[in-house]
């Protein structure tokens, strides 16, 4: 049994870390130490929750002790923080990737000035993401989405060169509109149900006949969170914003931010509150199939390594959406497992692109060549990430894609299954382009004197690569029951009902 | 005068903001569009709480005020939060606009074309 009193720490520790970093910025080494320790302690805390919690347990914390009104008024007043299986699953992924990225940044961010600002914004973004995951209140979710988004706009512009500023402006305007649409959806829901608590809302929504206006609310939430998740046709900002950010931030944005603000929020709103109506299932599958296709095909013709990876993120988000849209337990299991795998291998690949840039000073695939002789750790870990992305057995990415495709076949969506297989072949094509042009072939003269990246960067690359190789082990029954099943159960139990 | 009129006007204001974001070329005008759309949503939030003849949600010792005659106070708290968030977004966008002007020497978005593909 674990006390509910430590739940707010998931937001409080990164916030305090950001504050202390700003306070002690003058002392050398403090930003690094606080950044690594804050994210590391979050990771340890989420492991603690994973080990101590019962499978169906739901930990609830009432902020400001406003919990007693439930008995008197019949509805929950005040903000609740809720931890259940899905939350734990996401918290583990987010905080693990954040920890790895923080360790990597200690060496990498010496390329930039003002390192303390980087760690400060990084921890703010982490606080926002953790807040989105643990909150049980819809307006509170909007507030945390905004905290994480604002920090990420600033981080995209961190280089303050022409490209970065332009990408950040585009991202900030589109993200701002997305937030407004989400807020409008929240207001509509509040005026209909009279509560902001998600569990209360779900009860009211499932109990009554729903007005036709509910479809407007569906549209608002789908557009708002779809923009944050960069699903096609809302993806225009991602290929600019993700490559422009510093490499560790690209890893955070592509690896976990679009999943927390986009996929997780969509799953929460449509599964838990609306009970996953049939129309949403069709829309998610269609958008997923479109994202898969557009992302993969455009990635084929990119020569900038990070831009290629950014388009690949759009395509992989499509797989996750497809799995969620199928809506069978197997489909959801595949979607969540692919979410886990994607956050690991995409962070790894972005960190690798950063390592190449750090050592060789370029991200253009045409200028590289033969780097595997000079950068053995980087090229080895890229290969592991690439194989996982391409879905080569026995790497982790293979199993999750396989589960999604099997789920599509079982649910009688043959065309979607065939499309997913086809797009995974395209995936192999574009990711082989990276390994072929960057690491194989003849070494160019200008790269003769480059050195392998510093040790902390190497450690984080190797750790992520190991998870890419052995991630498939999570599917053995014991590990699955502890890690994946509780998250799937939360989404399944929200289903039923609907419009 | 229709009872739905305020909501319709609110949506028209929101559409004006979105129109400005989509069609204007000047960065400052785009930011103004974001601000207008934001205010429309805030207005909508206050409208949801409004009740004809309603009064503020404060009990009094000298007169009897029924809870039914009060406006809903929660959206008023929410709209404050939303305004503060809007302030942060606007401040960030304007700071970006200043930096962009420093780099390009123009506010015209069509002349900022570093990113393609």
Instruction: Tell me which of A144, A165, A298 to substitute to probe the interface with B (most B C-beta atoms closer than 10 Å).
Output: A165
> Is B5-53+61-111 CATH 1.10.287.3510?
yes
Instruction: Classify burial at A434, counting beta carbons within 10 Å of its beta carbon; exposed 0-12, middle 13-18, buried 19 or more.
Output: buried
Q: Considering Cα of A13, then A14, then A15, then A17, what sign does the dihedral take?
A: positive
How many pairs of residues across A and B have Cβ atoms under 8 Å apart?
Answer: 82
DSSP 8-state code for residue B51: -
Indicate which of B75, B96, B104 best probes the interface with A, i.e. most A CBs within 10 Å of its own CB.
B96
How far is the CA of A421 from the CAs of A298, A384, A398, A428, in angstroms?
17, 21, 11, 11
C-alpha–C-alpha distance, residues B76 and A239, integer Å: 38
pLDDT < 50 regions, chain B? 117
Contact between B39 and B10 under an 8 Å Cβ cutoff? The reply is no
Closest Cα in chain B to A155: B92
DSSP state of A159: T
CB–CB contact B104 A191 (8 Å): no
Closest chain B residue by Cα to residue A311? B117
Interface membership of A169 toward B (CB under 8 Å): yes
Asked if A164 is an interface residue toward chain B (Cβ–Cβ < 8 A), one would say no
Q: Is A191 at the interface with chain B, CB within 8 A? A: yes
**Contact criterion met (CB < 8 Å) for B85 and A165:** no
Contacts with A153 from chain B: Cβ below 8 Å: 92
A327 with A495: CB under 8 angstroms? yes
What spatial distance separates the first Cα and last Cα of chain A, rounded to whole Å? Answer: 38
Contacts of residue A344, defined as CB under 8 A and 6 or more positions apart, other chains included, come to A93, A97, A255, A388, A396, A464, A467, A468, A471
Per-residue pLDDT of chain A (499 residues; tens, 9 = 90+): 577 888 999 999 999 999 999 999 888 889 999 999 999 999 999 999 988 887 778 889 988 888 777 777 777 888 999 998 999 999 999 999 999 999 999 999 988 888 999 999 999 999 999 999 999 999 999 999 999 999 999 999 998 888 899 999 999 999 999 999 999 999 999 988 888 999 888 888 887 777 888 899 999 999 999 999 999 899 999 999 999 999 999 999 999 999 999 999 999 999 989 888 888 999 999 999 999 999 999 999 899 999 999 999 999 999 999 999 998 999 999 999 999 999 999 999 999 999 999 998 888 888 888 888 889 999 999 999 999 999 998 899 999 999 999 999 999 999 999 999 999 999 999 999 988 888 888 888 888 888 888 999 999 999 999 999 999 899 999 888 888 998 999 898 887 644 3
Q: Does A297 touch chain B (CB under 8 A)?
A: no
Q: Which of A139, A154, A244 sits opposite B78 (nearest CB)?
A: A139
Chain A residues in contact with B99 by the CB 8 A cut-off are 157, 160, 165
Instruction: Locate the domains of chain A by residue range.
Output: 4-494
Cis geometry, peptide bond prior to residue A394 (ω within 30 degrees of 0)? yes
Which tokens in the block code for residue A205? 């929504």
Q: What is the pLDDT of residue A497?
A: 45
Question: Can you give the pTM of this predicted structure?
Answer: 0.95
Q: Which candidate in A137, A174, A176 is best for mutational testing of the B interface (most B CBs within 10 A)? A: A176
In the numeric block, the tokens 């900022």 are attached to B112
Give the A window 306-325 contacts with B, CB below 8 Å: 307
Q: Give φ, ψ of A197 to 5 degrees.
A: -75, 130
Query: What integer pLDDT is reported at residue A496 of this predicted model?
Result: 60
Give the bridge partners for A61, in sequence order. Answer: A81
């Amino acid at each position: 049994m674990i006390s509910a009193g430590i739940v707010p720490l998931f937001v409080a520790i990164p916030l305090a870390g950001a504050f202390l970093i700003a306070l002690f910025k003058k002392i050398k080494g403090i930003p690094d130490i606080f950044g690594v320790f804050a994210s590391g302690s979050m990771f340890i805390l989420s492991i603690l929750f994973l080990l101590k919690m019962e499978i169906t347990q739901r930990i609830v914390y009432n902020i400001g002790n406003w919990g007693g009104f439930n008995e008197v008024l019949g509805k929950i007043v005040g903000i609740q923080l809720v931890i259940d299986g899905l939350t734990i699953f996401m918290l583990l992924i987010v905080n693990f990737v954040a920890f790895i990225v923080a360790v990597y940044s200690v060496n990498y961010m010496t390329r930039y000035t003002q390192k303390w600002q980087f760690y400060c914004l990084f921890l703010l973004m982490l606080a926002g993401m953790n807040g989105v995951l643990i909150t049980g209140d819809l307006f509170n979710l909007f507030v945390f989405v905004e905290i994480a988004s604002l920090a990420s706009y600033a981080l995209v512009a961190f280089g303050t060169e022409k490209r970065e500023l332009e990408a950040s402006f585009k991202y900030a305007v589109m993200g701002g509109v997305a937030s407004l649409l989400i807020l409008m959806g929240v207001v509509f829901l509040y005026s209909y149900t009279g509560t902001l608590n998600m569990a209360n809302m779900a009860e009211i929504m499932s109990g009554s006949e729903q007005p036709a206006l509910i479809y407007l609310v569906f549209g608002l939430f789908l557009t708002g969170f779809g923009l944050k998740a960069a699903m096609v046709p809302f993806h225009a900002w991602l290929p600019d914003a993700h490559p422009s950010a510093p490499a560790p931030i690209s890893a955070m944005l592509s690896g976990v931010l679009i999943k927390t603000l986009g996929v997780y929020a969509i799953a929460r709103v449509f599964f838990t509150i609306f009970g996953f109506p049939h129309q949403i299932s069709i829309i998610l599958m269609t958008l997923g199939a479109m994202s898969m296709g557009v992302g993969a095909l455009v990635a084929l013709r990119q020569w900038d390594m990070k831009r290629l990876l950014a388009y690949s993120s759009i395509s992989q988000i499509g797989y996750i959406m497809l799995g969620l849209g199928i809506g069978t337990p197997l489909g959801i299991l595949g979607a969540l497992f692919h979410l886990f795998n994607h956050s690991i291998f995409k962070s790894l690949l972005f960190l690798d692109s950063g390592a190449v840039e750090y050592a060789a000073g370029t991200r253009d695939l045409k200028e590289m060549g033969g780097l595997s002789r000079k950068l053995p750790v980087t090229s080895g870990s890229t290969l592991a990430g690439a194989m996982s992305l391409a879905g080569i057995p026995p790497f982790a990415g293979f199993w999750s894609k396989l589960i999604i495709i099997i789920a599509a076949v079982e649910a009688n969506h043959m065309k979607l299954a065939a499309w997913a297989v086809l797009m995974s072949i395209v995936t192999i094509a574009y990711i082989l382009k990276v390994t072929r042009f960057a690491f194989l072939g003849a070494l160019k003269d200008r790269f003769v004197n480059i050195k392998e990246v510093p040790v902390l960067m190497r450690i984080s690359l190797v750790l992520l690569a190991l998870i890419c190789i052995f991630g498939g082990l999570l599917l053995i029954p014991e590990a699955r029951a502890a890690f994946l099943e509780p998250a799937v159960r939360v989404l399944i139990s929200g289903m039923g009902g609907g419009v | 005068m229709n009872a739905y009129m305020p909501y319709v006007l609110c949506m028209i204001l929101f559409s004006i903001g979105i129109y400005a974001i989509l069609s204007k070329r000047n960065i400052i005008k785009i930011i103004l569009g974001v601000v207008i759309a934001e205010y429309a949503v805030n207005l909508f939030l206050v409208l949801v709480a409004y009740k004809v003849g309603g009064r503020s949600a404060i009990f009094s010792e000298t007169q009897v005020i029924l809870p039914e005659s009060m406006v809903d106070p929660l959206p008023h708290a929410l709209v404050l939060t939303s305004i503060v968030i809007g302030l942060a977004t606007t401040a960030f966008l304007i700071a970006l606009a200043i930096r962009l002007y420093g780099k390009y020497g123009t506010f015209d978005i069509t002349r900022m074309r570093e990113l393609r593909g």
